[in-house]
Amino acid sequence: MIKVQLDQGPAVEMDAGVTVFEALKNLKKTDRRLAAARVDGEPADLSRALTQDCTIAPIPADSPEGLEIMRHSAAHIMAEAVRDLFPKVKVAIGPAIESGFYYDFDVPEPFTPEDLEKIEERMRQLVKQDQPFSREEVAKDEALQLFSSQHEDYKVEIIEALPEGRVSLYRQGNFLDLCRGPHIPSTGLLKAFKLTTSSGAYWRGDERQPMLQRIYGTAFATPKELKQYLEFLEEAKRRDHRRLGRELGLFSIEEEAGAGMVIYHPKGALLRSLIEDFERREHLKRGYQMVMGPQLLRADLWKRSGHWDNYRDQMYFTEVEGQMYGIKPMNCVAHMLIYKSRGRSYRELPLRYFELGTVLRHERSGVLHGLTRVRQFTQDDAHIICTPEQVESEIVGVLDFVFQVMAIFGFEYEVELSTRPEKSIGSDAEWELATHALIKALEAKNLPYHVCEGEGAFYGPKIDIKLKDAINRRWQCATIQCDFTLPERFDLTYVGADGGRHRPVMLHRVILGSLERFIGVLIEHFAGAFPVWLAPTQAVLLPITDRVHAYAEEVAAALRAEGLRVEVDSRPETLGYKIREAQGQKIPYMIVIGDREVADRTLSPRLRDGTELKDVPVAAFVARLKEESQIPSTT
């Protein structure tokens, strides 16, 4: 007999060898659909036999953990369906991801939409068969022999990297996969799923490795939740910044120019310029000083900063007259050189250096995505060099800055605290001081936060602010990093009130982060319909006939004289066509001009939501548009 305890309840004696499901049934905890359970805190299959005293807890299928297990199982079912339909396929990996799952396959030709329909139908058949998931454990050598005999090269590569010992496998139907588990009890538990798309993906995300075909899918506990998610996907597709960026003439990424390199078109460059002007004004108001560092710095500096040892794989290097240089991936090194250019006193601190700094990072092609992941981007980067006593108040000031700016753009947010990663520089004491400073600032603002263990920068812990957009997606933009280490490496000092030399602390921070990413997020947040102050074109004049063109140009000149952004659509098209075009371009105001407007010296503006205004005097419209064009202030 063994004793089985449910959470904090009393222990109940049961026969050794009882399964987790039978134990939960005895404890009357099978009233909900269960995906798996926790045994002594570790996730386990419901079919697992219990052989010693333990504590168990059910994992319902509709819980976050249960959904993750169900989605992982859905990936296995999808792989079985693909194998059934494409017998020569080689399988790679198939994890659960946020809101879904994927599996990578080595196939001669990319999957088509028709293929996905067939795979999904085969999955339904496998679900209907209610195949049980069963776990097997074999020696590593036996697993190698098994998958080698099946010519599953990717599984063999994974197994070879595992430590010696036993390897766990999962079988459902005629499909066997290498997996840690756990899984749902049987395929029949998968009630609501959908395959969404397929794309190319390099093995292990490395462009030097084979290109595989990845199929994405999603699964939920109920058909209702699946339907809601599919509607969300359609809305996200409608807001996709890559499509809108092309349709609105904002930017392009051309293969012949290079992957991850953004080319801004006139309207996109204007949008970016408006954001940059807003940023400069807000930083100057808060006592920041504008600086600018070079794109290339000698490799010796990157070695001293720790980038050479900890960040080299994401950097580009070149040689000039026999000297190795690194193209900057960050702006901090040049800012420290500015600080060191002369002696500093405690009376000068804090010093806040701000740069709209363009950086380059070697991102793998497999992770590049529109504006949100590129190889060249510009950060609204600043470094605050201050005394240890000023650290908390400076962090609080940055947090206030972030939240005031995000309110202007209509973003909500969540906060994360990321701690020391395995690959890092600096002493334990320095990391403890830096982490404590960030925590104190969060507590001073009474901000709830989630701790991300081991996800800090290599030189210091950080606060990340995740923005929530109009359809509740999370985006990483603002960050604050507390650094006691680089001031030590670059021997930054200041003369204190006691006349002695002291070591300052450096805060690395961005407000919007990468301008490219932020613009991509903005496009999707507003679905391309920017507020008037941000719209590249604020109004378009639509003359109905040739004889009113002169008046249209006169009005356009008056608007431009007031600094307003206006176009005249003089194409020989119908008024309805011009209005539809302007609506497609998300222009805030469409101004119809006909004979009556010329005679009365008025305008007939139409808002992009369909509202129509009649007989508006030109001066009144100019005043209205000027008011709406004012760049918002955070104070």
Tokens, residue 187: 């395929």
Report the DSSP beta bridge partners of residue 155: none
The residue assigned the tokens 């058949």 is 125
Element (H, E) at 212: strand 211-220
Average of pLDDT values for 552-566?
94
- Chain segment 601-628, per-residue pLDDT in tens: 999 999 988 898 988 999 999 999 999 9
Are residues 61 and 184 in contact, defined by beta-carbon separation less than 8 angstroms? yes
Angle ∠(512,489,494) on CA atoms, nearest 5: 85
Q: What is the 3-state secondary structure (H, E, C) of 375-435?
A: CEEEEEEEEEEECHHHHHHHHHHHHHHHHHHHHHHCCEEEEEEECCCCCCCCCHHHHHHHH
Instruction: For residue 49, give every residue at least 6 positions away whose Cβ sits within 8 Å of its Cβ, in sequence order, or none.
Output: 17, 18, 19
Backbone angles phi, psi at 573, to 5 degrees: -115, 165
**pLDDT(569) > 90:** yes
| CA distance linking residue 330 with residue 91, whole number of Å | 39
**pLDDT(632) > 80:** no
Amino acid at 575: L
Element (H, E) at 263: strand 263-264
462 is catalytic: yes
- Chain segment 74-131, per-residue pLDDT in tens: 999 999 999 999 999 999 999 999 889 999 999 999 999 999 999 999 999 999 999 9
**pLDDT(30) > 90:** no
Length of the chain as a residue count: 635
Please return the burial class of 495, using the count of CB atoms within 10 Å of its CB with bins 0-12, 13-18 and 19+.
middle
Are residues 383 and 332 in contact, defined by beta-carbon separation less than 8 angstroms? yes
Options 71, 241, 508, 606, the catalytic residue: 508
- Chain segment 148-186, per-residue pLDDT in tens: 999 999 999 999 999 999 999 999 999 999 999 999 999
SS3 271: helix
606 is catalytic: no
Q: Quick one: pLDDT at residue 635?
A: 66
| CA distance linking residue 335 with residue 615, whole number of Å | 56
Options 420, 462, 517, 525, the catalytic residue: 462
Average pLDDT, the chain: 93
| CA distance linking residue 62 with residue 43, whole number of Å | 15
Percent of the chain with pLDDT over 70: 100
> What does DSSP assign to residue 576?
H
Q: Which CATH superfamily is domain 65-239 in?
A: Threonyl-trna Synthetase; Chain A, domain 2 (3.30.980.10)
Are residues 442 and 476 in contact, defined by beta-carbon separation less than 8 angstroms? no
Are residues 149 and 138 in contact, defined by beta-carbon separation less than 8 angstroms? no
CATH fold label, 271-293+328-525: BirA Bifunctional Protein; domain 2 (3.30.930)
Report the DSSP beta bridge partners of residue 177: 170
DSSP assignment string, 451-499: EETT-SBTTB-EEEEEEE-TT--EEEEEEEEEESSHHHHTT--EE-TTS
CA 39 to chain centre: 34
| CA distance linking residue 564 with residue 316, whole number of Å | 41
361 is catalytic: yes
Report the DSSP beta bridge partners of residue 467: 413, 475
**pLDDT(205) > 80:** no
| First CA to last CA distance, the chain | 70
- Chain segment 219-278, per-residue pLDDT in tens: 999 999 999 999 999 999 999 999 999 999 999 999 899 999 999 999 999 999 999 999
How many CB atoms are located within 10 Å of the residue 369 CB?
A: 14
Backbone angles phi, psi at 58, to 5 degrees: -70, 150
Q: Quick one: pLDDT at residue 607?
A: 92
Q: Which of 375, 345, 347, 341 is nearest to 360 (CA)?
A: 375
CATH architecture of 539-628: 3-Layer(aba) Sandwich (3.40)
Q: Quick one: pLDDT at residue 349?
A: 97
Percent of the chain with pLDDT over 90: 82
Are residues 105 and 89 in contact, defined by beta-carbon separation less than 8 angstroms? yes
Average of pLDDT values for 472-476?
89
**pLDDT(518) > 70:** yes
**pLDDT(424) > 90:** no
Average of pLDDT values for 526-555?
94
DSSP assignment string, 34-62: EEEEEETTEEE-TTPBP-S-EEEEEEETT
How many CB atoms are located within 10 Å of the residue 263 CB?
A: 11
Q: Sign of the C-alpha dihedral, residues 489, 490, 496, 501?
A: positive
Q: Quick one: pLDDT at residue 9?
A: 80
Question: For 48-57, 197-206, 494-503, which range has the lowest pLDDT when averaged over its residues?
Answer: 197-206
How many CB atoms are located within 10 Å of the residue 213 CB?
A: 21
Options 83, 194, 383, 586, the catalytic residue: 383
54 is catalytic: no
CATH fold label, 2-58: Ubiquitin-like (UB roll) (3.10.20)
Options 131, 172, 213, 379, the catalytic residue: 379
Domain ranges of the chain: 2-58, 65-239, 271-293+328-525, 539-628
SS3 524: helix
285 is catalytic: no
Instruction: For residue 429, give every residue at least 6 positions away whose Cβ sits within 8 Å of its Cβ, in sequence order, or none.
Output: none
Q: Note the helical H segments in 495-574.
A: 515-525, 549-561
Average of pLDDT values for 28-40?
89
383 is catalytic: yes
Give whole-number Cα distances, 584 to 193, 243, 249, 274, 587, in Å: 34, 12, 11, 22, 8
Half-sphere exposure of 527 (CA within 13 A, CB side): 12
Options 104, 115, 380, 381, the catalytic residue: 381
Options 361, 364, 565, 606, the catalytic residue: 361
The residue assigned the tokens 């997020």 is 521
Q: Which of 564, 516, 521, 522 is nearest to 540 (CA)?
A: 564
Q: Which of 335, 327, 371 is nearest to 356 (CA)?
A: 335
Angle ∠(63,68,71) on CA atoms, nearest 5: 120
| CA distance linking residue 346 with residue 265, whole number of Å | 46
508 is catalytic: yes
Tokens, residue 33: 């659909």
Report the DSSP beta bridge partners of residue 34: 60
Q: What is the 3-state secondary structure (H, E, C) of 460-471?
A: ECEEEEEEECCC
Are residues 57 and 40 in contact, defined by beta-carbon separation less than 8 angstroms? no
Are residues 70 and 62 in contact, defined by beta-carbon separation less than 8 angstroms? no
Q: Which of 225, 222, 199 is nearest to 212 (CA)?
A: 199
